[in-house]
Amino acid sequence: MFFQGGNAALKANMGTGLVLYRLLDQPTQFADLGGGFRAWGFSQPRPPCRAEREPQPGWGDPLIGGRYHYDFGNGFGLTAYGDVGGFGVGAHVDWQLIGTIEYTLSSRINLHLGYRSLNLNYQASNSNLGFNVHMKGPMLAGTFRF
């Protein structure tokens, strides 16, 4: 019998931390560049009655990232963000691109409508474990300042 492929349901947890330095700061635009990390964790959903615990893959990737924002006035703006990482430390390659149009409701609330593309290619050493994932789609977000 020949192998025809397979499926697996996975739950992905991801968090990104980046420290940015402002390279350009003008009244209608700014540009930032920096470095940080992205932490990944994957698990398989299990029925609630199953008590045994299996190892769950997780790792961290170093990142280099940048952001550019342009303010059109009247509360509207445009932001482009991108990062790349992995470099073989965690994943072989880990990158993301985000583009958003923003509207400022008040000095404390911003709304963002855009598109995100996030990709990672990971292969565990001395293991069959590997991921080649590309997640993409529209996004709706908000920023609330306290």
Encode pLDDT of 116-133 as tens digits: 999 988 887 777 777 788
Q: Is 124 left (phi over 0), alpha (psi -120 to 50) or beta?
A: beta
Does residue 3 fall inside a structural domain?
no
Which residue has 């509360």 as its token pair?
Answer: 75
- Is position 27 within any domain? yes
The total domain count for the chain is 1
The rounded distance, in Å, linking the Cα atoms of 97 and 9 is 25
> Amino acid identity, residue 28?
T
Q: pLDDT, tens digit, for every residue of 41-86?
A: 877 776 665 555 566 678 899 999 999 999 999 999 999 999 999 9
Q: Which domain holds residue 138?
A: 11-144
Asked if residue 4 belongs to a domain, the reply is no
Of 79, 97, 84, 96, nearest to 143 by C-alpha is 79
Q: Is residue 139 part of a domain?
A: yes
